[in-house]
Amino acid sequence: MKHQHKYDANGKQLCCTLEEKINMKTDKDSGCCTTHKEPKHSDDDRHDHSSSNQTTFQMFMPAIISFVLLLVAIGFDNYFTQSWFTGWVRIVWYIVAYIPVGFPVLKEAFESIRKGEIFSEFLLMSIATIGAFAIAEFPEGVAVMLFYAIGEIFQTLAVQRAKANIKSLLDQRPDEVTILENNVAKTIKAATAKIDDIIQLKAGEKLGLDGELLSDTASFNTAALTGESKPDTKAKGEAVLAGMINLNSVCQVKVTTAYSDSKLSKILEMVQDATAKKAPTELFIRKFAKIYTPIVVLLAILICVVPMLFVADYQFRDWLYRALVFLVISCPCALVISIPLGYFGGIGAASKNGILFKGSNFLDVMASIQNVVMDKTGTMTEGVFKVQEVVFNSDFSKTEILQLVNALESQSTHPVATAIHQYVGKIDSTIILKDVEEISGHGLKANINGKELLVGNFKLMDKFSITYDIDPTSIVYTLIAVAYDKKFVGYLTIADSIKEDAQITIDKLKALGIKTTMLSGDKNTVVQFVAKSLGITNAFGDLLPEDKVNKVKEIIAKNETVAFVGDGVNDAPVVALSNVGIAMGGLGSDATIETADLVIQDDMPSKIPMAINIGKQTKKIVWQNIILAFIVKAIVLVLGAGGLATMWEAVFADVGVALLAILNAVRIQRMRF
């Protein structure tokens, strides 16, 4: 069956490209894990799947053989003249030197033509080098293909290095785990462990699967997941994740998730998939290359033929040589590989620091972000509330009302509900709740023994016409108002603490010239207090979800870009509206990872300016490569067409520029942000 090319919605060809070839070779040579959902290639694709796990030396071996034969031939031609090194012997020698590096490219050119992709990089190099042989420029023909092959190997190694940041995460899950069966330790393959198995984890060991801590406490190094080596102490019943390292005594963990469904697997899959979401610059270069390459071939033909009509002493060999030089220079390798590599490096650098981009397009957007709009609770504050004070009317039993409030708040996952539960204690199972309803932006409502119980903010009291005799704005802390049987009972004050790196975050954002806005459903006095403490420009409290949407719309109406930072679930409308939705605490929520465009795994707001810096550096490197490639190629193309550039200059303009661009692209992986 004839091969049909596959294209994405933006017109990017998904198969039979140089980038695909290098990515496939990279995955084979590095033993890419099947966890990564890469597209499978049928035999009809005719890519070379024969060799796997090649060492760097094996990759360079054909080029080394070709290089040695070429050096010897050049020596015989110019320095150690041999009488026998003439005629067909000389031609055969150069052909043998050409085959190790030339045959794979000729094969790729043939396969591309067979599949309908005529104007490929492989065809350009094939025409140029075969043409050089046709006009007896044997050394240059071999040299061009040799340096092209070396360039491709360096491209493969560079992509391999870029992927290493992500693939190293795979090493954080051990192949084997120790489980307890009837209190007897038994070592099994991690992939075969079942849900509810009990893992025994020794000090210094990595956890192989997600689970629930059964021991009273344990401290873990979470660097594999968050990029932070700061120990994280977990208590009995808390979730622990694959890749975490036990730091102290032996602990026990009950498996809650299958090996293939672990949080780490999903993170790896997400980052791998991110490379498929191309930035506008990448898409432009792809489309440009599809038009650019056939135009260059046509121009090369014209350079060879048209002078025949105007030049008196026209020599076909000379003008063919100029056309071949022109073809070598025009090869777009530097652009089609170094640009995706730059974005891949950016995604890898971010993931190494616990920041997960959903696509290289978001690197571009973050680089030009003008406004960061943030939620308060869990973003700039710890989100760990504690009850400070309980002020109830003496007409009500404080103990009884708190038990009712505790029972109702057990229906919510909000941090406030957790604070109340920790303050009150065990839930009274004899309390029967009916008609439980969560009123968005207000609180909870239920019926108990035929009486209505309301727990929420003072807007909830107003909504149900409950009269109260206090001024909520006079109290800085978050207030939880309670009404029972249509009467105002009183309130609880709840306090949250500002995150230790919140101030650094705001300072860095201001240094970058980015405007900051805080939007929260929390009490306005609390929001203003936090905003003033941190120096946030604009802050608005007492907001409903639709109010947040309207505030963001106001910013967008000014034609300014917006990144919204929140939990990614409750704030879904705002996340969808903003240019980039950033979720804090991706480790805690599968839904968050699915919803957000960018996930900060360790809850640290200081990763927001870091993500912006990574985006800026990535974009800077990509444009440096584009400008370098175009300037050098333009200069040498003009010189080549005028007969002032030889194949050697052409090799530099092609492979040399590609290597310089690649070296520039991999710089981002060494940068500190």
SS (H, E, C) 524-560: HHHHHHHHHHHCCCEEECCCCHHHHHHHHHHHHCCCC
User: Does 371 share its domain with 421?
Assistant: no
Please state the rounded mean pLDDT for residues 333-341: 73
Looking at the fold, whether 432 and 531 belong to one and the same domain comes out as no
In a domain, residue 19? The reply is: no
Q: Which pLDDT band holds residue 101 (cuts at 50, 70, 90)?
A: very high
> Is 402 found in the same domain as 488?
yes
Tell me the range of 90-104, 530-544, 571-585 where mean pLDDT is highest.
Answer: 90-104
State the pLDDT at residue 179: 92
Both 553 and 604 in a single domain?
yes
Tell me, what's the pLDDT at 170? Answer: 47
> What is the 8-class DSSP label of residue 653?
I
Report the pLDDT averaged over residues 321-327.
84
Least confident of 332-346, 485-499, 501-515: 332-346
Q: Which amino acid is at 447?
A: N
- The residue among 562, 590, 612 that closes a domain is 612
Report the percentage of the chain scoring pLDDT > 90: 31
The residues near 459 (Cβ < 8 Å, ≥ 6 apart) are 441, 442, 542
- Compute the mean pLDDT over every residue in the chain, rounded to the nearest whole number: 82
Q: Which residue has the higher pLDDT, 381 or 402?
A: 402
Q: Please give the Cα distance from 72 to 66 (Å, whole number).
A: 10
Q: What pLDDT, in 10s, does the model give residues 230-261?
A: 678 888 998 888 888 888 789 999 999 888 88
Residues 363 and 504 both lie in one domain: yes
Do 426 and 555 fall into the same domain? no
How many domains are there within the chain?
Answer: 3
Do 467 and 502 reside in the same domain of the chain? Answer: no
What is the residue range of 601's domain? 355-382+498-612
442: CB partners within 8 A, 6+ apart: 456, 457, 459, 460, 463
**Residue 186: how many other CB atoms lie within 10 Å:** 12
Q: Could you give the CA distance from residue 105 to residue 123 in angstroms, rounded to a whole number?
A: 8
Residue of 197, 375, 542, 597 with catalytic role: 375
pLDDT confidence of residue 36: 38
Is the Cβ–Cβ distance between 349 and 673 less than 8 Å?
Answer: yes
pLDDT at position 42 is 36
Tell me, what amino acid is at 95? I
User: Does residue 224 sit in the same domain as residue 367?
Assistant: no
> Which of 39-48, 159-168, 208-217 shows the highest mean pLDDT?
208-217
Query: pLDDT tens digits for 175-184?
Result: 889 999 888 8
Are residues 393 and 433 located together in one domain of the fold?
Answer: yes
DSSP designation for 427: -
Residue 646 inside a domain? The answer is no
pLDDT of 33 over the 50 cut:
no
Q: Kindly give, in sequence order, each residue whose CB lies less than 8 Å from that of residue 570, ignoring residues fewer than 6 positions away.
A: 545
Domain assignment present for 109: no
Identify the residue with better confidence: 277 or 616.
Answer: 616
Domain boundary among 497, 515, 543: 497
Q: How confident is the model at residue 40 (pLDDT cuts 50, 70, 90)?
A: very low
**DSSP H or E run through 235:** strand 231-235
Q: Of the candidates 497, 521, 544, which is a domain's last residue?
A: 497
- The question of whether 375 is a catalytic residue gets the answer yes
Q: What is the pLDDT of residue 452?
A: 94
> 3-class DSSP state for residue 380?
coil
Q: Which residues contact 152 (CB under 8 A, 6 or more apart)?
A: 18, 22, 333
Please say if the pLDDT value at position 587 is more than 70.
no
Question: Does any domain span residue 333?
Answer: no
Q: How many Cβ atoms are within 10 Å of 310's Cβ, its own excluded?
A: 7
Tell which residue, 418, 424, 466, 51, has the closest CA to residue 237: 418
What's the confidence (pLDDT) of residue 99?
Answer: 96
CATH number at residue 520: 3.40.50.1000
- The confidence band for 6, taking pLDDT boundaries of 50, 70 and 90, is low
Residue 610 and residue 353 in contact, taking contact as beta carbons nearer than 8 Å = yes
Structure tokens at 544: 């409903």
Phi first, then psi, for residue 275 (nearest 5°) are -70, -20
Residue, of 126 and 52, whose pLDDT is higher: 126
What pLDDT was estimated at residue 377?
80
* Residues 484, 482: Cα–Cα separation, whole Å: 7
Domain annotation covers residue 673: no
Label residue 41 by pLDDT band (50, 70, 90).
very low
Q: Is residue 671 part of a domain?
A: no
| pLDDT for 229 | 56
Range 214-223 average pLDDT? 86
Is the residue at 392 inside a domain? yes
- Asked if the structure places residue 528 within a domain, the reply is yes
Residue 288 pLDDT greater than 80, yes or no: no
Q: What percent of the chain has pLDDT over 70?
A: 83
Q: What is the pLDDT of residue 4?
A: 53
C-beta of residue 573 within 8 angstroms of C-beta of residue 551: no
Distance of alpha carbon 240 from the chain centroid: 23
- CATH classification at residue 246: 2.70.150.10
Query: In terms of domains, do 453 and 555 share one?
Result: no
- Return the residue matching tokens 């294209």: 7
Per-residue pLDDT tens over the stretch 481-490: 999 999 999 9
E strand segments, 339-441: 355-357, 371-374, 386-392, 434-439
Instruction: Render pLDDT for 457-489 as a digit per residue (tens, 0 to 9).
Output: 999 999 999 999 888 888 888 889 999 999 999
Based on the fold, state whether residues 491 and 539 are members of the same structural domain: no
From the list 314, 140, 303, the residue with the least C-alpha distance to 642 is: 303
What does the pLDDT read at residue 538?
92
Residues 382, 387, 388, 392, CA torsion sign: positive
Residues 372 and 511 in one domain: yes
pTM higher than 0.75: no
Helix ranges (DSSP H) in 197-259: 223-226
Per-residue confidence (pLDDT) for residue 673, from 0 to 100: 82
What secondary structure, in 3-state letters, does 570-632 show? CCHHHHHHCCEEEEECHHHCHHHHHHCCEEECCCCCCHHHHHHHHHHHHHHHHHHHHHHHHHH
Closest CA to 416 of 370, 451, 383: 383
